Amino acid sequence: MKLSRRSFTAGLGAAGAASLLKPSMSLAARPDELNILCWEGYNTDDVLGPFRDLNPGATVRAESGTSDPDMINKLRAGEVNVWDLINLNQPWARGQLYPAGLIKPLDKERFMPFFEKMTPEYGNPPYPLAFAEDEELIGMPQRYGPFSFVVNTDKISREMAEDMGWKLFLEPDMADRFGILTYDNWNIMHMCLTADLNPFESLDEAGFTAFEDTAAKIFAGAKLMSDDLVAMNTALINGEIDAYFTGGTYTASPARLDGMTQIRGITPKSGPIDGKGGVVWAELTSLVNNPDPSPLAADFLEFVQKPEIAKAVGFAEGTYNPVAQMGDPDVFAMWDSDELDAIQWDSLEEESANSVEYDEVADYDKLMEIYTVLRRG
Amino acid sequence: MQRRERNLGLLYSAPLTIFLFLAFLAPICLVAAFSAMPEKVFSLTQMPDFSAYRTVLEQGYWKSVAWSLFMAFVATLILLVICWPLAFGMAKVFKRFTLVLTIGVVMTLFVSENIRLFGWVLTLMKGGLIEGYWRHWTGVGFDAPLYNGPIIVFGLVYVYLPFMLFPLAQGIAMVPDDARQSAYDLGATRWQILKEIDLPLAMPGIMVGSLLTFVLAAGAMAESKLLGGRAIITIADEVQTAFTYGQNWPLGSALAMVLIAIIGTVAIWAISKADLDKMMGRKA
């Protein structure tokens, strides 16, 4: 066939137009493809490399998100066709993704046995929040961590911070001495706790007023706000601030592994939810409800339960976190003493015991409105 | 014949027109459509009720809009004053050194904005490059000049400098030296030359530079987040919050539409005020 310039251009145009009309054509070879949308860690070579070696010929891609809602937006915007696995903090999976049909249940027979090797908080009984209200298993837990606030223990002692709890941030002499790590959904939860409210139950008018007063005080006292944990740790290390509102193992661990062990995540000893004032998060990795699913998705979920891979996920670059699989002695043996110190292993059990599970905030929309208005100043 | 030519023109421009529509107008139309939807929905199949716009009005979002526009305006003014002598030098004085300067300024654009701004944080923070050395040498420390409004404007000036500098230099290059020399010969003062010759003849460059910087600065948020410690919440930041943590796409879209409408009006007004063709001497 003789290819003239004109027919080539026409062909090119047609190919371009076809790609616009039928984007799913590019996804034809699904058995050889796996796309993972995750928090940092699952996308590193230490995790993906060995999986690629096990599945030569498969194209394995992982993209890291910057926040839970950002990743949910991708699925809502039609990318359920693209992704096979999503890794998110658990309330979003239960509260938003499963009810919206964006993720699907896991095979219980295949995955339930893994709970037996997990730490007691996650394995015995199997982590209740990994199950939807219809009792389907909707994701596997791995990384977790207490998440309340962080102090520089050279300036504020651990005991004092734990005893005072959230009220520390209302002290007049703390004004201009703390920052706010603006993970908005977490700030809202923590401001409720500071106001002695339970964020996971509906609030009455008095509750909203208390939230508003407390949030206003905290915003007024903050020296800086940032959604960047490195900026917050830097300010804490150089003495710009002595504490930051919203933070925990996840944010303090990078500084601690660098030897700055005075930076410490704090869990209040008491609080308004059955006497507890801390919050603990756990991630769930779930199967996306892809209309053209990849069989590699469930394989990968099983693969990350292996000791060396569980360690790689927990100790990815950026942040360091305990994993539920550390209940297995083989997994635990992978951590050295500095690494255990970075994730505050010494107080982890106690901190988890003083924390409640991160859950959906009951009046999130209304509180978010109050929060954004006050933050604007 | 003429009609056929006109049709051919339309045909030739069709691919580009379609491309521009798909790549540029379609996303804006989508945002506009979402902004009319009831709040907290994630599809366009609902009955439009424009409730997001009511929320924009009722919940004080105007403050963020006003702050963003004000800071963009101040940054543009400062840039105009700073860049004028530099651009004048590049266009008329520096000769070969202009190339060095151009490469120097363009090089900064190779590095991500966030990294450059974080570099400033490390320079200015307590114990950073400046305060750290100062305290080391003198024993006296001082508070970091971070986390306030003026430092955000500084960030805007720093980041958007190239967008003012190059159009301005281009504009000044268009001022004929003969005109300036004649004015000198006729006894004009330096001030008169600036006012009567340089500014009017370089106006296309001034307009383009000012519009570029103003539009970009009005939609900026990294400066406020990194340098400013969110002391002032910009409108772009509010849009991001609405789309992400708020999970309220219609509200985010409505906020974006408000910004697009304001910026669009300013841009169209400025362009219509200053007839570029006339200034460039193409029309009588």
What residues does each domain of chain A span?
27-144+282-348, 145-279+358-376
Determine the Cα–Cα distance for residues A334 and A309; give it in Å rounded to an integer.
10
pTM: 0.85
All residues of chain B having their beta carbon less than 8 Å from the beta carbon of residue A376 are 60-61, 63-64, 233, 238
CA distance B97 to chain A (A): 38
pLDDT for the residue B34: 95
CB contact under 8 A, A238 and B125: yes
Tens of pLDDT along chain A (377 residues) come to 444 555 545 555 544 444 444 444 444 447 789 999 998 889 999 999 999 999 998 999 999 887 888 889 899 888 999 999 999 988 888 888 999 999 999 999 999 999 999 998 899 899 999 999 999 999 999 999 999 999 999 999 999 999 999 999 999 999 999 999 999 999 999 999 999 999 999 999 999 999 999 999 999 999 999 998 998 999 999 899 999 999 999 999 999 999 999 999 999 999 999 999 999 999 999 999 999 999 999 999 999 999 999 999 999 878 899 999 999 999 999 999 999 999 999 999 999 999 999 888 889 999 999 999 999 88
Cβ of B42 within 8 Å of Cβ of A372? The answer is: no
Of B60, B127, B229, the CB nearest to A376: B60
Angle at B145 between CA B139 and CA B149, to 5 degrees: 170
The answer to whether the CB of B130 falls within 8 A of the CB of B208 is no
**What is the three-state SS of chain A?**
CCCCHHHHHHHHHHHHHHHHHCHHHHHCCHHHEEEEEECCCCCCHHHHHHHHHHCCCCEEEEEECCCHHHHHHHHHCCHHHCCCEEEEEHHHHHHHHCCCCCEECCCHHHHHHHHHHCCHHHHCCCCHHHECCCCCECCEEEEEEEEEEEEECCCCCHHHHHHHHHHHHHCHHHCCCEEEECCHHHHHHHHHHHCCCCCCCCCCHHHHHHHHHHHHHHHHHEEEEECCHHHHHHHHHCCCCCEEEEEEHHHHHHHHHCCCCCEEEECCCCECECEECEEEEEEEEEEECCCCCCCHHHHHHHHCCCHHHHHHHHCCCCCCCCEHHHHCHHHHCCCCHHHHHHCCHHHHHHHHHCEEECCCCCCHHHHHHHHHHHHHC
Indicate the angle between helix axes A184-194 and A205-221, nearest 10 degrees: 110
- What Cα–Cα distance (Å) separates residue A266 from each residue in B54, B74, B105? 41, 42, 45
| Closest residue in chain B to residue A72, using alpha carbons only | B244
Largest CA distance in chain A: 84
B114 interface with A at CB cutoff 8 Å: no
Q: Which of A70, A223, A365 sits opposite B147 (nearest CB)?
A: A223
pLDDT at A7: 53
pLDDT of residue A26: 44
| Count of beta carbons in the 10 Å neighbourhood of residue B77 | 15
* Pairwise CA distance, residues B170 & A15, whole Å: 41
Interface residue A91 vs chain B (CB under 8 A):
no
| Domains along chain B with CATH numbers | 51-279 (1.10.3720.10)
Q: Which chain B residues are Cβ-neighbours of A67 within 8 angstroms? A: 244-245
- Mutation for B interface: A365, A372, A375, most B CBs within 10 A: A372
Burial of B167 (0-12, 13-18, 19+ CB in 10 A): buried
- For residues A79 and A294, the answer to whether their CB atoms sit within 8 Å is no
Q: Tell me, what's the pLDDT at A28?
A: 46
pLDDT in tens, A229-285: 998 999 999 899 999 999 999 999 999 999 999 999 999 999 999 999 999 999 999
Whether the CB-CB separation of B179 and B197 falls below 8 Å is answered with yes
- Whether the CB-CB separation of A323 and A314 falls below 8 Å is answered with yes
Among the CATH numbers 3.60.15.10, 3.40.309.10, 3.90.870.10, 3.40.190.10, which is that of A27-144+282-348?
3.40.190.10
Tokens of B238: 């509010």
Tell the CATH superfamily of the A145-279+358-376 domain.
Periplasmic binding protein-like II (3.40.190.10)
Cross-chain residue pair B40–A184, CB shorter than 8 Å = no
Could you tell me if A320 and A40 are in contact, meaning their C-beta atoms sit under 8 angstroms apart? Answer: no
Give how far A217 is from chain B: nearest CA, Å. 15
Q: Is B234 on the interface with A (CB under 8 A)?
A: no
Size of interface A-B (CB pairs under 8 A): 76
Span A55-80, pLDDT tens digits: 998 999 999 887 888 889 899 888 99
The C-alpha of B240 sits at a distance from chain A's nearest C-alpha, in angstroms, of 10
B112 interfaces chain A, CB cutoff of 8 Å: no
- Chain A CB contacts of B40 below 8 Å: 365
Under 8 Å between Cβ of B72 and B214: yes
CB-CB under 8 Å, A72 with B247: yes
Tokens coding B249: 């796409």
Residue labelled with tokens 């360091």: A320
Residue type, A334: M
Residues in chain A closer than 8 A to B130 (CB atoms): none
- How far is the C-alpha of A27 from the C-alpha of A5, rounded, in Å? 30
Residues of A in contact with B51 (CB under 8 A): none
Question: Which candidate in B244, B248, B251, B255 is best for mutational testing of the A interface (most A CBs within 10 A)?
Answer: B244
Determine the Cα–Cα distance for residues A363 and B9; give it in Å rounded to an integer: 58
Check for a shared fold between A27-144+282-348 and A145-279+358-376.
Answer: yes
Burial (CB count <10 Å: 0-12, 13-18, 19+), residue A181 = buried
* pLDDT value of residue B43: 87
In the prediction, which pLDDT does B276 show? 62
Q: Nearest 5°: phi and psi at B245?
A: -60, -35
The secondary structure of B198-265 as a DSSP string is IHHHTHHHHHHHHHHHHHHHHT--HHHHHTSTTSS--HHHHHHHHHTTT--HHHHHHHHHHHHHHHHH
**Bond preceding residue A23 cis, omega within 30 of 0:** no
Output the pLDDT for position A16.
47
pLDDT at A25: 41
Which residue in chain B has the smallest CA separation from A220? B231
B126, A239: Cβ pair inside 8 Å? yes
Q: State the pLDDT at residue B279.
A: 55
| d(C-alpha A99, C-alpha A95), whole Å | 7
Question: Which segments of chain B have a pLDDT < 70?
Answer: 1-2, 274-284
Task: Report CB contact under 8 Å: A372, B59.
Answer: yes
Residue pair A129/A282 in contact by the 8 Å Cβ criterion: yes
pLDDT score, position B188: 92
Phi first, then psi: what are they for B230, rounded to 5°? 55, 30
For the stretch A295-304, pLDDT in tens is 999 999 999 9
In B, minimum Cα distance to A182 occurs at: B230
Residue with tokens 């529509």: B21
pLDDT in the model for residue A3: 47
Chain A closest-CA separation from residue B254 CA (Å):
15
**Residue A288: strand pairing partners:** A103
B134 interfaces chain A, CB cutoff of 8 Å: no
